[in-house]
Amino acid sequence: MNLQSVFSQSDAIGKAVAILLLLMSIASWVVILWKTWMLRRAGGDVMRGVAAFWQAPTLDEAATRVAGFDRGQLVTPLIQATQLPAGDTLAAAGERAQQLTRTLRDALHAIMGRLQFGQVLLATIGSTAPFVGLLGTVWGIYHALIGIAGSGQISIERVAGPVGEALIMTAAGLAVAIPAVLAYNWFGRVIGRIEAELEGFARDLREMLK
């Protein structure tokens, strides 16, 4: 009894559910592997970039030093945001502290959008995959019972096999969902630490330049 036998004995709906679970699993693992690499690098880059900034003698020199560490462009946009817009526009209106707050906030939101990329997909897969698997199980049991009833020979032995195979779809749904949920929670904690570091740096920049 395995997924191959369940797939071969399923009808079109059962096969569609199995393929959907496979695609969800592939998508989640691609995101998991990519975000693991990206966040591991981002955490180190942010710490080294912020340290290099405060060790520089001038703002221009700091931007140059940070660029050497900031491979993911997480700190550099905040430094660039301190170059306030010029001209007779609403963006340039108001006090310098207000302009810095606005530009740093916009830059921070853009950075967090990149760090959060993929989180919605993991949350969606983690919450829906068990129900997709359950749908496959219910449909598989229904399909098996209809076939058994049509044969006119109903016994525990004839019911246990098809029903047991159909239950594999529920296990498959859980196997897809559990890694996605665990990764989502772990990435959320890592992103939270990076966000706190970037927010502190943005706040320090504003206080220094206002």
pLDDT-derived band at 154 (thresholds 50, 70, 90) equals low
Which amino acid type is present at position 15?
A: K
Of 60-64, 125-129, 181-185, which gets the smallest average pLDDT?
Answer: 60-64
Higher pLDDT, 119 or 17: 119
pLDDT of residue 90: 66
The structure tokens 């830059």 sit at: 107
136-124-195 Cα angle (round to 5)? 160
Q: pLDDT tens across 76-94, in order?
A: 999 888 887 666 666 666 6
Q: pLDDT tens across 12-67, in order?
A: 777 888 899 999 999 999 999 999 999 999 989 999 999 999 998 888 888 888 98
